[in-house]
Chains A and B, each alone.
Chain A
């Protein structure tokens, strides 16, 4: 097998490392299909809507709405205490995140930083109301 060339990767090919670096420096990186316009909050090599491999980086909104949430009382190894996680709607896409401030479904939240307890960072959102 030959090494992939830049052409194989397609324009704007976004990797987990890019997503992670942006997260750590305070921006939410998503990808948008250059063929059909579908947006994903996490990198994909091909579009789930149309299969196109032209997925370009976009910056996601930092303000979103809580789509669902739960408070976890029994954490996995490497995590401590009681904490809230939720799915946050960001425009036309959604992202799983750690939540702060006992927010409810439908509440407006803002991206405020990251937590690092397991392997790699996770996004944190807090109430904006």
Chain B
């Protein structure tokens, strides 16, 4: 993956900087790749570029193979990954390239108001957008209900931002990372209450890519493969007022149940998780929905340090979306990159000791799309 941050180059050039190292890491030739599963959420709106998959394949010397582009808001490249894994599992392809790219910073020439509107396009056009709902607003609605039901506090949310910023400083690809304090978070401007600016992930540019291969082909690769042992993908109602419950994030519960069943594990077996912390409150909802923490305990557990990289259930060792950054279409496969790096034992100062089972949770829109992936170190 590329560093997440601000990039002033084109989507195909940015994506090549993630894809070619991934291909080289696997040690495969471009001619051996027999399909391309690609994610980009907003290029049509932000860069006036659509039909990107064959253009990017051409730029990488892969023209001619089947290429497909996915769009599922922030879960875009996880959905590409799911389809790639299922196609390989079904024997339709042997070696595929999966990845995503997005530019969200002012490098596109678009300011905060325009980008806030572009992000809001993932909310309902007739029944949500006319109220002026924003994406910080969407997750604020979910989080304030959680605060009402369970007593989660702004200070507990701030602890999550502090943790993920702390983790991010050890990730060379992260957009941000530093030692911050709860006071820093609570004193930053309010975007949509209860979220302060530092509760929110940044607008980022970046790209990520992985190579998915059939087990027999992966054995011949030059690098250590890791195993994908479960993927669950579920959706919930849109508009969000139609959801039966705003705090359960039902799609995440159903997707993780499916992924755990496929992997033949329970939540207790997960050594660490990368979860979709677009806002601090989203990490609380995710850790509970995934069964890593009991309902209502996401905030207190974070405040007690239980989800730090050295805690009992580390969450977002990469820094998460909060510190690593969130280039929408690149986020899903960037989580897969972090799982791979950790399971190989290559994560340096943020390495989780003896990590053998890991989980990625990537959501799209108002959590209506959720994809949960379980990966394990290669036996």
List the interface of chain A (C-beta within 8 A of B). Answer: 16, 19-20, 40-42, 48, 67-79, 83, 85-87, 93-98, 105-106, 115-123
Closest beta carbon of chain A to B101's beta carbon, Å: 24
**Nearest CB in chain A to that of B113: its residue:** A77
* A75 touches which of B116, B240, B246 (Cβ 8 Å): B116
In the complex where A68-B141, A87-B240 touch, is A119 in contact with B113 (Cβ < 8 A)?
no
In the complex where A48-B237, A87-B241, A94-B242 touch, is A74 in contact with B192 (Cβ < 8 A)?
yes
How many pairs of residues, A versus B, come closer than 8 Å at their CB atoms?
117
B83 CB-CB contact with A under 8 Å: no
Closest beta carbon of chain A to B112's beta carbon, Å: 7
Query: How many Å lie between the Cα of A93 and that of B244 in the bound state?
Result: 9
Closest beta carbon of chain B to A19's beta carbon, Å: 8
B144 CB-CB contact with A under 8 Å: yes
B129 CB-CB contact with A under 8 Å: yes
B126 CB-CB contact with A under 8 Å: yes
B55 CB-CB contact with A under 8 Å: no
**Nearest CB in chain B to that of A116: its residue:** B130
Closest beta carbon of chain B to A108's beta carbon, Å: 16
What bracket does the count of chain B residues touching chain A fall in? 35 or more
Judging by beta carbons under 8 Å apart, are B126 and A98 in contact?
no
In the complex where A48-B237, A73-B189 touch, is A96 in contact with B145 (Cβ < 8 A)?
no
Show 18 A/B contacts (Cβ-Cβ < 8 Å), sorted by A.
A41-B241, A69-B141, A70-B137, A70-B140, A70-B193, A72-B137, A73-B192, A74-B136, A75-B134, A76-B113, A77-B114, A85-B137, A93-B241, A94-B241, A95-B127, A95-B241, A118-B130, A119-B129
**Nearest CB in chain A to that of B147: its residue:** A105
Closest CB pairs A-B (n = 3): A70-B140, A122-B130, A76-B117
Interface positions of B from 121 to 150, Cβ below 8 Å from A: 125-134, 136-137, 140-142, 144-145, 148
**Nearest CB in chain B to that of A42: its residue:** B127
Judging by beta carbons under 8 Å apart, are A68 and B114 in contact?
no
Residues in chain A near residue B112, CB distance under 8 A: 74
**Nearest CB in chain B to that of A88: its residue:** B241
Residues in chain B near residue A117, CB distance under 8 A: 130, 132
Closest beta carbon of chain B to A41's beta carbon, Å: 6
B239 CB-CB contact with A under 8 Å: yes
Main secondary structure of the interface of B (DSSP, over half): helix
Closest beta carbon of chain B to A31's beta carbon, Å: 12
In the complex where A68-B144, A96-B127 touch, is A42 in contact with B192 (Cβ < 8 A)?
no
List the interface of chain B (C-beta within 8 A of A). Answer: 112-114, 116-117, 120, 125-134, 136-137, 140-142, 144-145, 148, 189-194, 237, 239-242, 246
Query: How many Å lie between the Cα of A16 and that of B242 in the bound state?
Result: 16
Residues in chain B near residue A120, CB distance under 8 A: 126, 130
Judging by beta carbons under 8 Å apart, are A105 and B241 in contact?
no
Judging by beta carbons under 8 Å apart, are B131 and A74 in contact?
no
In the complex where A72-B136, A76-B116, A122-B132 touch, is A87 in contact with B127 (Cβ < 8 A)?
no
Judging by beta carbons under 8 Å apart, are B239 and A83 in contact?
no
* B131 touches which of A20, A40, A77, A122 (Cβ 8 Å): A122
Most chain B beta carbons < 10 A, residue from A16, A70, A78: A70
Closest beta carbon of chain A to B49's beta carbon, Å: 21
In the complex where A76-B116, A77-B116 touch, is A70 in contact with B130 (Cβ < 8 A)?
no
Judging by beta carbons under 8 Å apart, are B141 and A86 in contact?
yes
In the complex where A76-B120, A118-B132 touch, is A105 in contact with B148 (Cβ < 8 A)?
yes
* A85 touches which of B114, B126, B131 (Cβ 8 Å): B131
Judging by beta carbons under 8 Å apart, are B192 and A68 in contact?
no
Judging by beta carbons under 8 Å apart, are A87 and B141 in contact?
yes
Closest beta carbon of chain B to A42's beta carbon, Å: 5
Query: How many Å lie between the Cα of A67 and that of B239 in the bound state?
Result: 15
Query: How many Å lie between the Cα of A69 and that of B144 in the bound state?
Result: 7
Closest beta carbon of chain A to B201's beta carbon, Å: 14
Judging by beta carbons under 8 Å apart, are A42 and B136 in contact?
no
Closest beta carbon of chain A to B243's beta carbon, Å: 8
